[in-house]
């Protein structure tokens, strides 16, 4: 959970189920919350049930998360990294389900993505649902708010970035790595990437599908692509 991720500043209140079960994880949560001065309340299980959606099991812990409000512009983000970024960027286009967004952020964190471009419109809110699904990646990844995604991609292209778009109608993912630096654009599972953004693509990539199902969850598809672009590790 976010509290234990090393970036706890966004957790403003913590609620634990009031019972006599004290495992090591529960003790660590209590100790960390008290050390950081985060308010901590113990509530009956039914009270916790009412605080979360029915399809989001809380496992006896609920955190109230402060909304993320401050983001750098794309210009400020690039200026803050004049020597280049340590990994690719990912741009989100039209992903409006907070669970899909959270899962995508979790994948991006694992794959070493250097920043996430989030449009001000047509994107899921950075809510508690997104935070929980992201397993804390919402608070560890650099987030960049952009007013117009197509304009931001044009700026990145002028800075030398190549634009890859996941597109079911694109070319099969090629072997080897694409030339960097790179920004990957991920669209919604229903509509994909918008036309103005797709028109800026240097590569339209689809993943080979050998089964009967002809599409993947967007976070899975992004993960396959991002891992295919990683530099080989030592001894690889």
- The domain segmentation of the chain, as residue ranges, is 2-65, 74-228
CATH code reported for the domain at 74-228: 3.40.1280.10
Which residues of the chain are under the pLDDT cut of 70? Answer: 1-10, 20-22, 52-59, 65-70, 214, 232-236
pLDDT, position 5: 47
Give Cβ neighbours of residue 218 (< 8 Å, ≥ 6 apart).
95, 100, 103, 104, 166, 186, 187, 188, 189
Residue 136: per-residue pLDDT: 76
pLDDT score recorded for residue 128:
73
pLDDT recorded at residue 176: 84
172 C-beta neighbours (distance < 10 Å), count: 10
- The pTM for the full model equals 0.74
| Whole-number Å distance between alpha carbons of 218 and 46 | 34
pLDDT for the residue numbered 138 = 82
State the fold for domain 2-65: 60s Ribosomal Protein L30; Chain: A; (3.30.1330)
What's residue 70's pLDDT?
66
């Amino acid at each position: 959970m976010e509290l234990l991720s090393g970036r706890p500043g966004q957790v403003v209140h913590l609620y634990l189920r009031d019972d006599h079960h004290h495992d090591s994880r529960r003790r660590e949560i209590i100790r960390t919350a008290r050390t950081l001065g985060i308010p901590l309340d113990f509530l009956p299980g039914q009270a916790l049930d009412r605080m979360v959606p029915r399809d989001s099991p809380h496992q006896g812990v609920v955190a109230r998360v402060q909304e993320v409000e401050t983001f750098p512009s794309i210009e400020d983000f690039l200026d803050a990294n004049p020597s280049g970024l340590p990994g690719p960027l990912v741009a989100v286009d039209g992903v409006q389900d907070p669970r899909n967004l959270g899962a995508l952020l979790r994948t991006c964190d694992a794959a070493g993505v250097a920043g996430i471009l989030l449009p001000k419109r047509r994107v899921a809110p950075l809510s508690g649902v997104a935070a929980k699904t992201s397993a804390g990646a919402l608070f560890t990844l650099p987030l960049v708010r952009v007013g117009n995604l197509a304009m931001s991609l044009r700026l990145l292209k002028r800075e030398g970035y190549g634009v890859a778009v996941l597109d079911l109608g694109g070319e099969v993912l090629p072997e080897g790595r694409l030339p960097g630096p790179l920004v990957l654009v991920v669209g919604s599972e229903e509509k994909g990437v918008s036309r103005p953004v797709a028109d800026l693509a240097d590569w339209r990539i689809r993943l080979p599908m050998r089964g009967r199902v002809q599409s993947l969850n967007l976070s899975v598809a992004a993960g396959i692509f991002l891992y295919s672009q990683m530099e080989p590790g030592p001894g690889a």
